Amino acid sequence: MTDLLAAAAGAALVFAATNLDDIVVLTVLFVAARGTGRPRPWHIVAGQYLGIGALVAAAVVVAAGLLVVPDPWTGLLGLLPIGLGVRALLARGDDDGPPAVVGGLLGVAGVTVANGADNIAVYVPVFRSLTPTTGLVYLLVFAALVAAWCAAAAVLGGHPRVVRLVGRAGHWLVPAVFVAIGAVILVSSGVLGRLAELVD
């Protein structure tokens, strides 16, 4: 029992450390959902589960030695949130509300994968060291924490101060958050340096 509790605590720590930035993304999505109806709340939750599930599945496959991740090329996924943010800025109407940067389930999943691609580098060595039992504990804890993350973001996305802020500046703030997240992914992954080497 002690081993299972230790595994659960370790899983919670790993998840929290690698997904803190997801709270920002999810909050922005819930605020947009309140203002525009897109994406729908269930799209956000299901898309988050789909995206995190894809990241964990990829990490398990890599940990088993069945696939090699071409690091740092996964950093190119940062172009997805940048593209979504720029598109929302260019397509915004006359209203000042938050634009629907992501329209549905697959969009949410795509942003989740792009934002968490670097998580695979952490997950792979962790999953390599787990037994099947502790691996199952990790999966259950991850599933529970995805729900907790979505619930926390939904609460934040409905907080009057957050709603007022996004209501005043959402037309540029929401797309700017997505562009900033994409830029951080590109820079922190090291892919820009690799591209520069290719050009030289």
Q: Nearest to residue 108, comparing CAs of 49, 24, 168, 48?
A: 48
Using CA atoms, how far apart are residues 55 and 61, in angstroms rounded to an integer?
10
Question: What is the pLDDT, as a whole number, of residue 94?
Answer: 53
| Domain total of the chain | 1
pLDDT confidence band for 169 (50 / 70 / 90): low
Give residue 99's pLDDT: 62
Tens digit of pLDDT for each residue in 54-89? 999 988 888 877 656 556 667 777 788 888 888 877
The pLDDT tens digits for 21-58 are 888 888 888 888 887 778 899 999 999 999 999 999 98
Q: Which residue, 17, 52, 125, 128, is CA-closest to 9?
A: 17
pTM above 0.85, yes or no: no
- The single residue listed with the structure tokens 């080497």 is 197
Residue 190 has pLDDT above 60, yes or no: yes
DSSP 76: G
The residue range of the domain holding 80 is 2-199
